[in-house]
């Protein structure tokens, strides 16, 4: 008998094994009965509850809400998050319920950091706007700005932010870091409170964890005129209404968002030429997806093996 032949596994991520079928084959070869996300987007709470109620014992998890209520109604034994964060999982509830939780913290690091650099350069040189205009038959040259010499504020200093710092160094920028949980000193970097850092920054790039809002109207009001805001972390970290107000009043020059409180996103930010939007594709490189999906499957299989062997 295959080691996981009794287990029914839900793949709740919006996409899985698209670039390479190996991670899916690993699950099937272990004997798992696999259930796909039928909606191909982030699941809502009622949707994840309904799917888990079908006898699911393990999940390759995306960003759907796995709170105490959801977990207590389920038969889950293992949550294997395909991604770098666990803010959507109630870890205390999982522990109380005996559900093992694992994740893939290193998988998206380079992919998200590289995309962030691309977004910075695109906003500074207004590449998306000129591309759209030229496709519409308009030859309209825009004068942008250099990344070199700018002050870049990195909010949150985890794995992705540290990789971003390395990628920024050749551009000869001044780097500030705001992270209240950072204990160690970073050589050559000023670690200062957010409110002190915002007025100094030309570019603010958010890489914080958690779901709480940290950039609201007050914080947006501290950004210098011409400042750019980038968010590749969580949609809830930036108050969208306050951002729209700041854009309308031209208090900031532009923004890039790869994450949204509600996805797929169809909101009012789509109407702003100076805002660049991407559909939560920070981890969407072929190399990253395979690495992250493979690791998520390996973590899940290993966790079930430990459960069957009676190991902690």
pLDDT of residue 19: 86
Active-site pick, 81, 100, 280, 289: 280
263 is catalytic: yes
Task: Single out the residue of 103, 108, 77 nearest to residue 88, CA to CA.
Answer: 103
Q: Where are the beta strands (DSSP E) in the chain?
A: 8-11, 33-36, 58-61, 78-81, 100-102, 151-155, 174-178, 190-191, 203-206, 228-231, 254-257, 275-277
Q: CA 274, CA 128: separation in Å to the nearest integer?
A: 9
Pairing of strands 151-155, 174-178: parallel
pLDDT of residue 119: 98
251 is catalytic: no
pLDDT of residue 210: 86
Residue-wise pLDDT for 146-186, tens only, equals 999 999 999 999 999 999 999 999 999 999 999 999 988 88
pLDDT of residue 76: 98
Residue pair 100/79 in contact by the 8 Å Cβ criterion: yes
280 is catalytic: yes
Active-site pick, 114, 263, 298, 302: 263
Residue pair 176/197 in contact by the 8 Å Cβ criterion: yes
pLDDT of residue 312: 66
pLDDT of residue 310: 82
Active-site pick, 234, 240, 293, 295: 234
pTM of structure:
0.90
Structural domains in the chain, sorted by start = 8-107+286-308 (3.40.50.720), 109-277 (3.40.50.720)
Point out the residues of the chain with pLDDT beneath 50. Answer: none
pLDDT of residue 185: 84
């Amino acid at each position: 008998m295959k080691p996981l032949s009794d287990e029914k596994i839900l793949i709740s991520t919006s996409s899985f094994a698209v670039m390479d079928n190996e991670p899916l084959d690993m699950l099937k070869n272990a004997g798992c009965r696999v259930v796909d996300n039928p909606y191909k987007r982030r699941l809502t709470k009622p949707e994840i509850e309904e799917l888990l109620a079908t006898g699911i014992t393990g999940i390759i998890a995306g960003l759907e809400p796995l709170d105490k209520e959801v977990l207590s109604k389920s038969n889950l034994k293992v949550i294997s998050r395909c991604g770098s964060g666990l803010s959507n999982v109630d870890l205390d509830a999982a522990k109380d319920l005996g559900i093992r939780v694992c994740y893939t913290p290193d998988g998206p690091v380079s992919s998200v950091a590289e995309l962030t650099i691309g977004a910075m350069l695109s906003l500074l040189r207004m590449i998306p706007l000129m591309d759209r205009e030229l496709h519409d038959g308009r030859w309209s040259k825009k004068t942008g700005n250099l990344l070199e010499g700018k002050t870049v504020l990195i909010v949150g200093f985890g794995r992705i932010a540290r990789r971003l710092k390395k990628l920024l160094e050749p551009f000869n920028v001044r780097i500030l870091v705001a992270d209240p949980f950072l204990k160690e000193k970073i050589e050559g970097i000023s670690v200062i409170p957010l409110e002190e850092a915002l007025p100094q920054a030309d570019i603010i790039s958010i890489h914080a964890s958690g779901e709480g809002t940290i950039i609201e109207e007050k914080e947006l009001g501290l950004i210098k005129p011409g400042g750019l805001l980038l968010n590749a972390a969580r949609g809830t970290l930036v108050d969208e209404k306050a951002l729209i107000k700041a854009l309308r009043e031209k208090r900031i020059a532009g923004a890039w968002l790869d994450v949204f409180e509600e996805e797929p996103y169809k909101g009012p930010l789509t109407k702003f030429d100076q805002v660049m939007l991407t559909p939560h594709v920070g981890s969407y490189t072929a190399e990253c997806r395979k690495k992250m999906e493979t690791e998520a499957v390996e973590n899940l299989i290993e966790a079930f093996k430990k459960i069957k062997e009676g190991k902690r």
